Chain A
Amino acid sequence: MPRTTTLECPGCPPLRALTFDELGLIKVIEARGKQGRAEPKLVERWGDLDSSKSVLAASLDDRKSDPLLAVARRNGMIEVLNPLNGDLRFSVTNSSNNGVQPEDDPVAGLHLLAKKNLELASRSCTLLTCTAKGNASIRSFELTKPASDVTSTGSSRTWSVGAGGNILCSKVDGSENYFLFGGKRVEMNVWDLDSCAKIWTAKPPPKNTLGIFTPTWFTSATFLSKDDHRKFVAGTNSHEVRLYDISAQRRPVISFEFRETAIKSVAEDLDGYTIYVGNGSGDLASFDIRTGKLLGCFLGKCSGSIRSIARHPDYPVIASCGLDSYLRLWNVKTRQLLSAVYLKQPLSNVLFDSNFADEEAEVVNPPANRLLHGEHIAPERDEDETPPVKRKKSKEKKGSKTEAKEKTGNGEPCQDNEQHIVAERDEGETPPLKRKKSKEKKGSKKEAKAKSGNNEACDDGGKKLKSKKSSKRLKRADVDDLS
Chain B
Amino acid sequence: MGGDNNRRKRSESDGGGEEPPPERKMDVLPSMIKNKEKRSAVHAKLKQQKKLEKRKKAKARDAAEKRALELGEEPPAKKIPKTIENTREVDETVCKPDDEELFAGNDADEFSSILKRESNPKILITTCRFNSSRGPEFIKELLSVIPNATYYKRGTYDLKKIVEYANKKDFTSLIVVHTNRREPDALLIIGLPAGPTAHFKLSKLVLRKDIKNHGNPTSHEPELVLNNFTTRLGHRIGRLIQSLFPQEPNFRGRRVVTFHNQRDFIFFRHHRYIFEEKETKQIESKGKKTKDANGESGPKGKVIARLQECGPRFTLKLISLQHGTFDTKGGEYEWVHKPEMDTSRRRFFL
What is the interface of chain A, defined by CB distance below 8 A to chain B? 2-6, 22-23, 25, 49-51, 217, 237-238, 261-262, 264, 280-282, 299, 301, 303-305, 323-325, 342, 344-346, 454-455, 458-459, 461-462, 465-466
Contacts and interface: CB of A to CB of B under 8 A. Distances in A.
Interface of B: 1, 3-4, 7, 27, 29, 31-32, 82, 87, 89-90, 92-93, 99-102, 104-105, 107-108, 232, 323, 329-338, 340-341, 343-344, 346-347
Given A280-B330, A301-B338, A462 B32 contact: yes
Given A23-B108, A344-B232, A301 B330 contact: no
Nearest to A217: B330
A454 B4 contact: yes
Given A2-B87, A305-B323, A281 B336 contact: yes
Given A4-B89, A49-B100, A344-B232, A454 B331 contact: no
Nearest to B103: A49
Nearest to B2: A454
B29 A238 contact: no
Given A304-B333, A344-B99, A465-B31, A23 B104 contact: yes
Contacts of A465: 29, 31-32
A140 to B, nearest CB: 34
B344 A3 contact: yes
Contacts of B107: 51
A122 B340 CA distance: 51
Contacts, number: 103
Nearest to A343: B101
Given A23-B104, A264-B332, A301 B92 contact: no
A303 B31 contact: no
A23 B105 contact: yes
A305 B332 contact: yes
B101 A345 contact: yes
Given A49-B100, A49-B101, A304 B329 contact: no
B346 A345 contact: no
B29 A262 contact: no
15 contacts: A2-B346, A3-B344, A22-B108, A23-B101, A23-B108, A51-B107, A237-B330, A280-B330, A280-B331, A280-B332, A305-B333, A323-B333, A325-B232, A454-B3, A462-B27
A344 B94 CA distance: 10
Contacts of B4: 454-455, 458
Contact of B101 (A4, A280, A282, A344): A344
A6 B335 CA distance: 19
B334 A344 contact: no
Contacts of A346: 334
B335 A303 contact: yes
A301 B329 contact: no
Nearest to A326: B93
Given A23-B104, A305-B323, A325-B232, A261 B331 contact: yes
B164 to A, nearest CB: 17
